[in-house]
Amino acid sequence: MKYYSINNRSALVDFKHATIEGQAADKGLYFPTEIPKWNKSFLKELKDLSKLQIGFEIMKPYVGGSIPEDQLWKIMEETISFDFPLKQITQNIFILELFHGPTLAFKDLGARFLSRCLGYFAKSIGSKITVLVATSGDTGGAVADAFYKVEGTEVIILYPSGKVSNVQEKQLTTMGDNIHALEVEGDFDACQQIVKTAFADPELKEKLFITSANSINISRWLSQQIYYAIGQSQWTYDEAPVVSVPSGNFGNICAGLVAQKSGLEIKHFIAACNVNDVFTRYLATGNYNPTSTQATVSNAMDVGNPSNFVRITELYNHKIDEVKKHVSSDSFSDAATEGAIKKIFDTCHYILDPHAAVSYLALEKYIDQHPGNKGILLGTAHPVKFPSVVERIIQQEVPIPGQVENVIKKDKNAMLVAPNFALIKALILQIVK
């Protein structure tokens, strides 16, 4: 398998190069030259395969010869070491819980796969790899945990000051060792722009092996297909489900769309958005107009210019009519989001986090408009990560899972910085000596 920059189709690289580089030199995102078609036997036997077998078979063609199969299997064992249960909420709506990993977020899978791949590659290149990542919430914690003490890596996380939850902040600022947190006085888009600028900076590229752990990195992005297949392996109905995805930087839903193109039986996708609705407006008008980010209770979705939008359009040859055949979108206010959390808790005794609540609203609306369908929403984070919102609504404490019990007691260790690239560049060079 080869990969090309969306900005330049002629420059082909392998999985190792694309993973280490993160973003192409021309600032384009990497994209596979082909989307593998999954064997009919694989799809037919999905319900009988283990999580490890599913993950291994999905990623094998993307990795190609960059990682030996025995090492890929070992990486998969360390990546998929937790469950992804499918649970019923209402008669027609199910939730795929993706928050049973070490940091209680869906990003644990992609971050762990990426960290293990980079750890393997670091041994072969004989040089330290610097991982630079921007986070709107859960990515930071997942990356910090996944890369903690991974030999040959140094991790620098940029996050927007005051715009992540307390649990999220503690997860990304308390690890120490090779994990460094920069608290940026700005929003997520400012953090993301600094990361993109860093990848194109000649001095940083000359002095460091620098890569990204955001969903712009193919290893993190493409590995997210795995839990869609694991979810499908638990689906017991003859008709394929509609799948609703909380959407921020659009790497998650784009991975699902790739899985669908490979043969996974998903009837339709819904990109569930909060008031940061650039994609919803794009489908409605045909115009893509990024805007400034607005802060919401579903903070991980607060993205005004999602990086992976270009991958979705690339997947469908930049034809909006083709995009619309596979995905629709709706956006919802904080008031509606909070109303959904209360409704589902009162009627179904299930606690949704704010992101899953947005996804629920989108799926509920779709099924109301298309009777007879059943659907799956993605539960991307445990509600304990958003206690100030969730506990106020349900009027009781959310039980604290063991994964975060000790983390929230630790002291935050982060450097407060202005959203200034020159300043942050100097800090990066100082950290990675």
Is the residue at 191 inside a domain? Answer: no
The range of the structural domain enclosing residue 277 comes to 86-104+221-400
Is the residue at 430 inside a domain? Answer: no
Rg of the chain (C-alpha set): 20
Query: In whole angstroms, what is the distance from residue 312 CA to residue 129 CA?
Result: 29
Handedness of CA 314, 316, 321, 326 (dihedral sign): negative
Query: In whole angstroms, what is the distance from residue 247 CA to residue 236 CA?
Result: 26
For 357, what's the count of Cα atoms within 13 Å in the CB-facing half-sphere?
31
Is 111:79 a contact under the CB 8 Å cutoff?
no
Is the residue at 281 inside a domain? Answer: yes
pLDDT of residue 298: 94
Buried b (16+ CB within 10 A) or exposed e, 295-322: ebbbbbbbbbbbbbbbbbbbbbeeeeee
Is residue 107 annotated as a catalytic residue, yes or no? yes
Query: In whole angstroms, what is the distance from residue 150 CA to residue 159 CA?
Result: 21
137 pLDDT band, cuts 50/70/90, is: confident
Interhelix angle 166-173/138-147, nearest 10 degrees: 30
pLDDT of residue 79: 95
Pairing of strands 86-88, 8-13: unpaired
Cβ partners under 8 Å of residue 224, min gap 6: 106, 109, 110, 215, 251, 252, 255, 256
Residue with tokens 């994990």: 179
Query: Per-residue pLDDT tens for 352-398?
Result: 999 999 999 999 999 999 999 999 999 999 999 898 899 999 999 99
Instruction: Compute the average pLDDT of residues 35-45.
Output: 94
Reported pTM: 0.89
Is the residue at 288 inside a domain? Answer: yes
Is the residue at 375 inside a domain? Answer: yes
Q: What is the mean pLDDT of the chain?
A: 93
Is 131:158 a contact under the CB 8 Å cutoff?
no
Q: Which of 107, 170, 196, 374 is an active site residue?
A: 107
Query: In whole angstroms, what is the distance from residue 117 CA to residue 152 CA?
Result: 12
Is 23:220 a contact under the CB 8 Å cutoff?
no
Q: Which CA distances in Å does 138 have to 21, 107, 113, 162, 198? A: 22, 7, 16, 14, 22
Q: Is 402 or 224 the better-scoring residue by pLDDT? A: 224
Q: Kind and range of the H or E element at 13?
A: strand 8-13
Is the residue at 242 inside a domain? Answer: yes
Instruction: Compute the average pLDDT of residues 145-160.
Output: 91
pLDDT of residue 250: 94
Q: Other CB atoms closer than 10 Å to residue 45's CB: what's the count?
A: 14
Is the residue at 129 inside a domain? Answer: no
Instruction: Compute the average pLDDT of residues 314-321.
Output: 96
Cα 426–chain centre separation: 28
pLDDT of residue 216: 87
pLDDT at 251 over 90: yes
- Calculate what percentage of the chain has a pLDDT beyond 90: 75
Is the residue at 356 inside a domain? Answer: yes
Instruction: Indicate which CATH number applies to the domain containing 314.
Output: 3.40.50.1100
186: its two tokens: 């700005």
Least confident piece of the model among 42-51, 57-66, 281-290, 407-416? 407-416
pLDDT of residue 300: 87
Where are the extended beta strands (E) located within 53-176?
86-88, 93-97, 129-134, 153-160
pLDDT of residue 48: 96
Domains in the chain: how many in total?
A: 1
